[in-house]
Amino acid sequence: MVNIDKIVGYLENNEGDRVIAKKNKINRLFLTDRYPRLLNVGSDSTLEEIINEVLDIDRKIRRAKQLNPHLAGDSEEEKEILEEEAKEKLGYTHTP
């Protein structure tokens, strides 16, 4: 796993990469640092396209589960219960 402090440090030192359009570049840099064999996948743009596709698939999985709750695993149902309990403990009240 990449440490968030490492990401913060990178963004502090690379102001031009802070824009959302550079997120796949940043993902590529951190992934290839952690898994150097990914450098053999192809060009930087090829790896960034793969990263973009993975993120797209992840969004679609989450959306499919949101639209079809019966497809969600137990941990997701448990998460909702835990979130509600935490909100109650903190005194959170929903305002319409």
CA 20/CA 31 separation, integer angstroms: 17
- pLDDT tens digits for 5-59? 999 999 999 999 999 999 999 999 999 999 999 999 999 999 999 999 999 999 9
Domain boundaries, the chain: 4-71
Give exposure, 13-43, as e/b (b: 16+ Cβ within 10 Å): eeeeeeeeebebbbbbbebbeeeeeeeeeee
64 close to 53: Cβ distance less than 8 angstroms: no
pLDDT of residue 88: 84
Q: What is the mean pLDDT of the chain?
A: 90
pLDDT of residue 77: 64
pTM for the complete prediction? 0.68
Measured in residues, the chain has a length of 96
27 close to 6: Cβ distance less than 8 angstroms: no
Q: What percent of the chain has pLDDT over 90?
A: 67
